[in-house]
Structure 1
Amino acid sequence: MRPIKTAKLDVASQDNSGRKRKKHKRKRGVILTTQGLQKLLVAKSQAEMDDNSGKRYTLETMSELTTLSVDTLMKILKCELGVDKQSLKCFFQTFGLKLQENDYYLPQSHVDESLQLGITQSKIPLEFPEGQVSLSSPFYIERPFIDTECYQLILQPGVLMRIKAPRRMGKSSLMARILHQSFLQNYKTVSVNFEVAEKAVFQSLDTFLQWFCASITFGLGLPNHLDDYWDNLFGSKISCKIYFEQYLLEQITQPVVLGLDDVDYLFQYPDLASEFFGLLRTWHEEAKNRDIWQKLRLVVTHAVEVYIPLNVNRSPFNVGIPIELDPFTPEQVQELSQRHELDLSNQELESLFDLVGGNPHLIRLALYHICHENLTVAQVLQTSLSNPGIYRDHLQRQLLSLEQEPELLMAFTQVVNSQTPVEFELITTFKLQSMGLINLQGNKATISCKLYLNYFCDRLN
């Protein structure tokens, strides 16, 4: 059994010959200031528009452009670890910028004293992975570029961000951090989750929009004045717009950031969803011409591609800024294991990654049980092959979801049993993708990870 790394940090390590060598004092280098980071991101975005058809540069492309390593690029953009000043200069020069003194700062501490003195640190409390990762959690892994870019985008007047990813990929956790960063800018923030509303709310557009306005009013800490602004003659959509324009946005002097989590919950009410999404699109368009609507910034998360019929000119899903969350990379899995204070070998990390395909929730679940129950990666792999093991609850929920929709169950059974990618009609494909069960190669589906293949092979056959 591989021992878990102790919390006490060693002051010495071994070289290739096995001899002990002292760890040197580690210089931290320089770190970008908020001003420097914003300047760099703006120049990068402009270059992407001019030279890359508006598509964001990948880390690999950035590495080629700047001649800096991917690791160095990540350090620069995360603004947590220092790099040498020459690397910053090189990064800035790539985008036609000159590095100035107010673009970076030198951390006060040049020595990692915990390494120098061998200070014993308390072990980080474990967190069972479920739902949103709390703001204070040490187990939240930022995605390079994406998190930092979102924090900058929310500063833009009237911005609309659309965060899309399968379930349990970190959408809600990222949205919570965007709202927190907005709060630190002294913005007003409100988060709305449609699943907390009673079903009766969704039976009419008028009732739904009144619930929506009342929820935001409560979140802003304002008195409810719906009766003063709701006019049956104008109808519910205009009344809702008037309520925002003449009351909510008028009363609040700061920008208002509105987070709408899991909006695909509304897809089961197509008529209502079509009207509501059209309203969001209208508000976003209003911000281009009117100052009052520039105060409103929207962050929307969804797991499923839009499969309900929406007028292309009224849909909020073809405007604004799309943000897609990918599975974790092997490097991010390694970082997460280190935050659990585990010392896993490259082979163990590769085996774990191969099992669950970089799914953030499944990775965290494995690392939690390895720590909590003193398991090895080999034991996790063995139990996942013979029985559900640590993933029992998750896999049973996935199976139950499939059984509730026979067409989905039949389609996924085809994927499990097929040696080649399978093509389905779009709604089925979108639903399976939102569950994280499949990956897409063009329009064709393959099973997303070995864990699902091992589990469903027996049960669906």
Structure 2
Amino acid sequence: MIDRLSSSRRKRGVVLSSHGWQRLQAAEHLSALRENLGRPYTLEQLSDRTGLSNNTLTKVRHRQKPVDYPTLEAYFQAFGLAIATDDYLSQDNDRSASVLTHLQQTPLKGQLELDSPFYIYRPPAEKLCNDEVFTPGALIRIKAPRQFGKTSLMARILSHAEDRGLRTAAISLQLADNRIFTDLDQFLRWFCAMVARALGLPTELEERWDSLFGGSYSCSDYFETYLLPADPSPLLLVLDEVNVVFNYPHIAADFFGMLRAWYEQGKHGGVNRELWQRLRLVIVHSTEAYLPLNLHQSPFNVGLSIELSCFNLDRVKELTLRYGLSSENAYAETLLNLVGGHPYLTQLALFDLSQRPIEPKEFTQTAIAPDSIFSSHLRQQLACLEQDPELLNAMKQTLLTPEGALLHPTQAFKLQGLGLVSFQNQRALPSCNLYRAYFSQVLK
């Protein structure tokens, strides 16, 4: 049986987190450019600068064995950095125990709290987004399959912006009822009302909306004459789940064309350019826009593109440590092989493993059992497929084609948005062994 952390075997020390390692590397690189003719520092140079031995520096940089906190602090201070709590992982049992207590009732679900010890940084996504929101007229596109951490990243971008004086409004298009999508004018009025409410402003649609000019014009005018001038601070507007609009082509083309026009106003506009530069737009979606949008009217080919990836082995190891599990290599390799680094499935698995002693091999063998930790998620994915016969057939085709299936783009995008497939040379394959095993069994 794999050993766990216990009060009888205390493991003191800290290990650099992915976030801390990113910060340290960035500071080292900048210092090397300024002070070392652009050449990376050698261990000997780092030792002279930090006062740490070559052996200790190697231990810190490999992020496998713990060091004491003052050692890590000295390394950071040598490059002008103040160490923060998310720069390191504590391997003290008391902290691990408190983490496990936090999770004893239910596994993590949905957006992770800003101070959650289970949020894993995926550099450079966080830094790129946090920097870009301060660019006048910025547009950021965040794309990833469902349950990949888009909303948790979005929350951190919003918090970062609010701390630095930006106004913020986050609108989930999933909250709109079906009737809202009846026509463009109604949808855009709902959209404007939601933004005004998020900003704590009166709606004022009756006074400011003129359907004679069309919904897109009225919506743009509402922003230009009311929402943007209401405060001199820039406005960060985050639109979550915009892929919902893909299902309504009679609305999507005009809505996305309007967003693109706003971006162009901020970049190349005339008299009102400075006003539109106050708008910083973040579009969050789980699939590609498979609509036939005009190249010059689409917001999906401009701005900063961020695509959240699966966890790699190092990040799964780091999360394993955060759940208080020792022998992280064995757990991480098993989980990566089973769920392919899928962020939500990795969290589910580690929660389960933190609650009961079980060997990695046994965990894998029972992964698709009716009472497994994954059963509810797998049934939900199956239900999504069963609602769309074409999507169901596309998944069957993927399972039956070992070299990967060539799917119609619409079905390929939808399966990718559900996180069920990944692509190699444009061919669709099950995104992880868990999905391959489960759907091979239920879709015989």
TM (normalized to structure 2)?
A: 0.81
SS in 1 for 2:192: helix
Q: Which residue of 1 is the match for residue 236 of structure 2?
A: 257
Counterparts of 2:154 and 2:413, CA distance in 1: 22
CA-to-aligned-CA distance 1:88-144 (integer Å, 9 cap, x gap): 6xxxxxxxxxxxxxxx245599xx9x989x977752111622222222211110102
SS in 1 for 2:422: strand
Q: Which residue of 2 is the match for residue 4 of structure 1?
A: 4
CA pair 391-136 structure 1, distance change in 2 beyond 3 A: same
- The amino acid across from 1:410 in the alignment is N
| 2:171–2:239 CA contact under 8 A, matched in 1 | yes
CA pair 275-390 structure 1, distance change in 2 beyond 3 A: same
- The amino acid across from 2:330 in the alignment is Q
Matches within 5 A, 1:91-240: 104-105=80-81, 123-124=98-99, 125-126=102-103, 128-240=107-219
| 2:142–2:307 CA contact under 8 A, matched in 1 | yes
| 2:189–2:205 CA contact under 8 A, matched in 1 | yes
- The amino acid across from 2:388 in the alignment is E
Deviates more, 1:171-180 or 1:3-12: 3-12
| 1:274–1:310 CA contact under 8 A, matched in 2 | yes
SS in 2 for 1:251: coil
| 2:96–2:323 CA contact under 8 A, matched in 1 | no
SS in 2 for 1:323: strand
| 2:29–2:40 CA contact under 8 A, matched in 1 | no
Q: Which residue, 257, 281, 300 being the options, matches 1:317? A: 300
> Pairwise CA RMSD of aligned residues?
3.5
Q: Which residue, 405, 418, 431 being the options, matches 1:435? A: 418
Q: Which residue of 2 is the match for residue 356 of structure 1?
A: 339
Q: Which residue of 1 is the match for residue 262 of structure 2?
A: 283
- The amino acid across from 1:2 in the alignment is I
Counterparts of 1:364 and 1:171, CA distance in 2: 15
- The amino acid across from 1:182 in the alignment is A
Matches within 5 A, 1:76-91: 84=75
How much has 1:274 moved relative to structure 2? 0.8
CA-to-aligned-CA distance 1:27-85 (integer Å, 9 cap, x gap): 99xx89x9x979989x99xxxxxxxxxxxxxxxxxxx988899x8599xxxxxx65747
TM (normalized to structure 1)?
A: 0.79
CA pair 278-405 structure 1, distance change in 2 beyond 3 A: same
CA-to-aligned-CA distance 1:132-191 (integer Å, 9 cap, x gap): 222221111010211112111111111000011111111111111111110111111111
Q: Which residue of 2 is the match for residue 383 of structure 1?
A: 366
Q: Are 2:282 and 1:296 aligned?
A: no
SS in 2 for 1:430: helix
| 1:7–1:341 CA contact under 8 A, matched in 2 | no
Counterparts of 2:203 and 2:403, CA distance in 1: 57
Counterparts of 1:38 and 1:207, CA distance in 2: 50
Q: Which residue of 2 is the match for residue 414 of structure 1?
A: 397
CA pair 123-256 structure 1, distance change in 2 beyond 3 A: same
| 1:422–1:444 CA contact under 8 A, matched in 2 | yes
Deviates more, 1:324-333 or 1:167-176: 167-176
| 1:7–1:123 CA contact under 8 A, matched in 2 | no
Counterparts of 2:95 and 2:145, CA distance in 1: 40
How much has 1:458 moved relative to structure 2? 1.6
| 2:366–2:372 CA contact under 8 A, matched in 1 | yes
How much has 1:347 moved relative to structure 2? 2.6
Counterparts of 1:27 and 1:239, CA distance in 2: 51
Counterparts of 1:73 and 1:371, CA distance in 2: 25
SS in 2 for 1:177: helix
Counterparts of 1:8 and 1:233, CA distance in 2: 76
Deviates more, 1:381-390 or 1:272-281: 381-390
Q: Are 2:409 and 1:426 aligned?
A: yes
| 1:8–1:120 CA contact under 8 A, matched in 2 | no
Gaps of 5+ in 1: 13-22, 45-63, 75-80, 89-103
How much has 1:301 moved relative to structure 2? 0.8
Counterparts of 2:160 and 2:423, CA distance in 1: 33
Deviates more, 1:436-445 or 1:214-223: 436-445
CA pair 254-40 structure 1, distance change in 2 beyond 3 A: farther
- The amino acid across from 2:311 in the alignment is F
SS in 1 for 2:168: strand
Q: Which residue of 1 is the match for residue 52 of structure 2?
A: none
CA pair 119-344 structure 1, distance change in 2 beyond 3 A: closer
SS in 1 for 2:179: helix
Q: Which residue of 2 is the match for residue 100 of structure 1?
A: none
Q: Which residue of 1 is the match for residue 47 of structure 2?
A: none
Gaps of 5+ in 2: 34-38, 44-57, 64-71
| 1:9–1:119 CA contact under 8 A, matched in 2 | no
Counterparts of 2:278 and 2:312, CA distance in 1: 36
- The amino acid across from 1:5 in the alignment is L
Counterparts of 1:73 and 1:186, CA distance in 2: 38
SS in 2 for 1:260: strand
